[in-house]
Structure 1
């Protein structure tokens, strides 16, 4: 997975980048976040999600403005949590598009992302919760299917409580009708550096039980779930045959992340930075 650099932009002195190409795959969606410093994300590709109420006992207020999500001017997206008074503000972006692999194909969701260095759980990062994940698009239809029945893939989900560990997780309704979040795998990464995170849903096996969902860090597999592990075809269809959309956000607080404190830093040093997002399907 080689990152391709475009020619130097002489007008601005900026090395614009393009997303990488992968052998055997076509790009079906991409955003390289090239644009003027401080400008908004492309509205044809991303929606801001500003719910009336947070999930998971989170404490942030999501906003529509560029104060909490904007382009860097050098080919990145910044999602920046900020404290104003006693309140925290951040951004949550949902891809307008949604994707699923065709029968006999594989689909890859991928992003190159920087998050703060949580190694050793320093107090200044308490409560931060940056994430790159995907949800089943059936929660956005006219008669929405509520979470977790629509399915969720957590690709990058890191917090200060987890130090330098990322946890990949599936959420769905199992055959007994209960929420199942027990499928998860952790990997160690180096914080404060850019890494490529990806999940691949692979339908190239005729037998659905042999089909897979696989997670990658910098091109190396660190977790995999098969249809056989999920157990029933209906649940596998929910997780692997249905359209999913991408979510990028920085939350604060909640039971998973722990709450921010008076020592939690606000602003650029607490941000999540994204160089590109790409969706790829096998030829």
Structure 2
């Protein structure tokens, strides 16, 4: 989610408005032209890729025909991890497979996960639970004093990687939160480079972040973003290389499959391909950044993350306001039907 929690920021930046990996997210919103863009109702990319003009340097679906997100016959692909979330109703996650992020930031990292979001992440089944019908639910809840709690979980494994000459696909079927009043909701499905974990994401964005699904303010949209390189460098971070918000019809009322393929089948022309329900929506090509930056951000293992934040830089950027709104609804969960990691060796 561009939710990165880094302890250091660029000169003059404010960690409270930055988006750190991990979805957290860790971006700093760009406020220039915000009023004009909001008035024109132009889609804005997530902090995990705010889509300013520089951040939109990837190839969007509108500029090229849709294509299958992954290549190769089904027999060529091997599932290396899958969770169908078939635990008992009200149960927590299997901690052999998942870890809970708790609090408001990584140890040593920026406050509020580096993005200004206001919730506290917990391991309580009030916020993160299996529903007994094959789903993981991450539910933000506001208590009587106005304090928000929610959930943010990561795979224990950090070795989801495209082999040299092969591909990796990370996918999840999920239903976005559907609050009656959603100004400030920020659900996300994303992945960070393995080296973020021992460093507490303080080495973001160089270790790479893949934002596979983000929506804000219950708009039934979604954006995808690639974070890489150095702050304010060729990857345009903290904004990243982003699709911007795109239409996602029915994504708050039903389950849809969000995926990213890391394609290393051509060593000199690697790609990141993002898709919704198998239809390609955005592409980032290796030659859009330097070779060293690409390899540092892509050619290694990743871990996956699911979370629902409340407030922060991305919702604020899109609405041109400070979120959450006073009348925001409590208790609208993101429901995840399954998550999988697959690899193909061509």
Q: TM-score range by the shorter chain?
A: 0.7 to 0.9
Within the candidate set 157, 170, 174, 1:97 is matched to 157
CA 1:175–1:57 in structure 2 vs 1: closer, same or farther (change >3 Å)?
closer
Deviation of 1:113 after TM superposition, in Å, equals: 0.4
Which residue number corresponds to residue 258 of structure 2?
197
Structure 2 residue 89 is the aligned partner of structure 1 residue 29: no
Between the two proteins, the alignment pairs up a number of residues equal to 253
8 Å CA contact 1:138–1:145 kept in 2: the answer is no
Structure 2 residue 193 is the aligned partner of structure 1 residue 131: no
CA 1:188–1:176 in structure 2 vs 1: closer, same or farther (change >3 Å)?
closer
CA 1:261–1:176 in structure 2 vs 1: closer, same or farther (change >3 Å)?
closer
Structure 2 residue 309 is the aligned partner of structure 1 residue 251: yes
8 Å CA contact 1:78–1:271 kept in 2: the answer is yes
Within the candidate set 84, 90, 99, 1:47 is matched to 99
Task: State TM-score, norm by structure 1.
Answer: 0.83
Within the candidate set 197, 204, 226, 1:170 is matched to 226
Describe the superposition over 1:146-179 as per-residue Cα deviations: whole angstroms up to 9, x where unpaired.
2222211111000117x23211111122598575
SS at match of 1:223: strand
What residue ranges of structure 2 are gaps of 5+ in the alignment?
A: 1-72, 105-110, 317-322
Structure 2 residue 326 is the aligned partner of structure 1 residue 265: no
d(CA) in 2 for partners of 1:81, 1:35: 20
Deviation of 1:243 after TM superposition, in Å, equals: 1.2
SS at match of 1:141: helix
Describe the superposition over 1:23-53 as per-residue Cα deviations: whole angstroms up to 9, x where unpaired.
4210001100001000001111110011443
d(CA) in 2 for partners of 1:56, 1:176: 16
Which residue number corresponds to residue 172 of structure 2?
111
Q: Give 1 or 2: higher strand fraction.
A: 1
Deviation of 1:262 after TM superposition, in Å, equals: 2.8
8 Å CA contact 1:101–1:107 kept in 2: the answer is yes
Which residue number corresponds to residue 211 of structure 1?
270
Which residue number corresponds to residue 128 of structure 2?
69
SS at match of 2:292: helix
Describe the superposition over 1:181-240 as per-residue Cα deviations: whole angstroms up to 9, x where unpaired.
341114311232110000000000132xx110000000010000110112x111111222
Task: State TM-score, norm by structure 2.
Answer: 0.69
CA 1:143–1:117 in structure 2 vs 1: closer, same or farther (change >3 Å)?
closer
What residue ranges of structure 1 are gaps of 5+ in the alignment?
A: 1-20
Deviation of 1:140 after TM superposition, in Å, equals: 1.5
Describe the superposition over 1:237-272 as per-residue Cα deviations: whole angstroms up to 9, x where unpaired.
1222021110100000012113122321111xx110
**Matching of residues 270-281 of structure 1 within 5 Å:** 270-281=332-343
8 Å CA contact 2:213–2:223 kept in 1: the answer is yes
CA 1:37–1:117 in structure 2 vs 1: closer, same or farther (change >3 Å)?
closer
d(CA) in 2 for partners of 1:176, 1:89: 32
